[in-house]
Amino acid sequence: MTTTMDRPPAKASGGPPAARRRTTGGTVRHTRRTRVLVLVGLALFTLYSLAPVWWLLVAATKSQRDLYTTNGLWFSEFHFWDNLKDLFTYQDGIFLRWMWNTLFYGFAGTIGMTLVCVACGYGLAMYEFRGRGVLMACIIGSFLVPGALLTIPSFLLYTDLRLIDTPWAIIVPGFFNAFSVYLAKVYAEGAIPPELLEAARIDGAGEYRIFFQIGARLMSTGAATIFVLGFVGAWNNFFGPLVYLRSSEKWTVMLGLYSWLKVKVDSSVDLTGLVVVGSIVSLIPMVILMLSMQRYWRSGVTMGSLK
């Protein structure tokens, strides 16, 4: 959408240059100063985003001694393969166990959360029933409750249910996410035409069949977004495993790396090098997930452009 602005034409010479100028084709042409400011802003944002990753990549290739004595932003002697071997053999290879636990908790909890939230959002968007407005107000209001406030009630509840120090204490709470329900409702309102559902009912289709064969398919892009956001949250979840899990064999990779980092404080052993390499390895599943889910977003954008 272009913006119409009433302003006198810029003088041919003299006076300050206009921030934007309209061409004969109706498009807005930005001045050199605006383009430079945008490019500088993008460069600063890129530097802010990639600098920690660059430091992590460089640090993962260094030995424990070079990690503290050499330039943090440039390479030294290459010890990446030795660091990787130490990572997977330390404490009988418990890092692999932590990675598997994180994948299992993340996929199980996020798949359940996606099914629950997509179904709830579809129901709230497509069905008229008494109390729907109040229910939506409660869902939106739950955004305001900090998750830390629910720790003690959740801990007491899981203790009564004997879920403490079990994987279910991490997986089951991941099924429910108020923001994802709201996101699914908004997406369903825009992606599913009510006339299509009415036509399916006239043809004799049941509500479950309409949901799984029509509603869920039209919401695939929204469901993919909910899944990715939920998996990223589950992967980076630190507070939940710290409170609900006791045995180190059941920890997630985030909690395990934190325990290795804490060793330096409690004793003379320094495992910072393993923590750095472990952080690099723990990024690989997230990168694979992002690359594999791109086609869902691309298809959603293409569908939106056709509309």
Which residues in the chain show pLDDT less than 70?
1-30, 264-266, 297-307
**Pairwise CA distance, residues 145 & 68, whole Å:** 42
Question: In angstroms, how far is CA 286 from the centroid of its own chain?
Answer: 9
* DSSP state letters, 231-287: HHHHHT--HHHHHH--SGGG--HHHHHHHHHHHHHHSS---HHHHHHHHHHHHHHHH
List 241's β-bridge partners, or say none. Answer: none
162 class by beta-carbon count within 10 Å (0-12 exposed, 13-18 middle, 19+ buried): exposed
State which amino acid sits at residue 190.
G
Rounded-to-integer distance, Cα 45 and Cα 42, Å: 5
If we measure between CA atoms, which residue out of 99, 106, 100, 94 comes closest to residue 253? 99
Q: Which domains does the chain possess?
A: 87-193+219-304 (1.10.3720.10)
In order of 159, 160, 242, 252, the CA distances from 155 in angstroms are 6, 9, 12, 18
Place of tokens 């802003």: 41
- The CA dihedral of 31, 35, 36, 41, to the nearest 10 degrees, is 140
Q: What is the pLDDT of residue 26?
A: 56
Res 105: pLDDT: 95
* pLDDT for the residue numbered 145: 84
Closest CA to 243 of 175, 162, 169, 176: 169
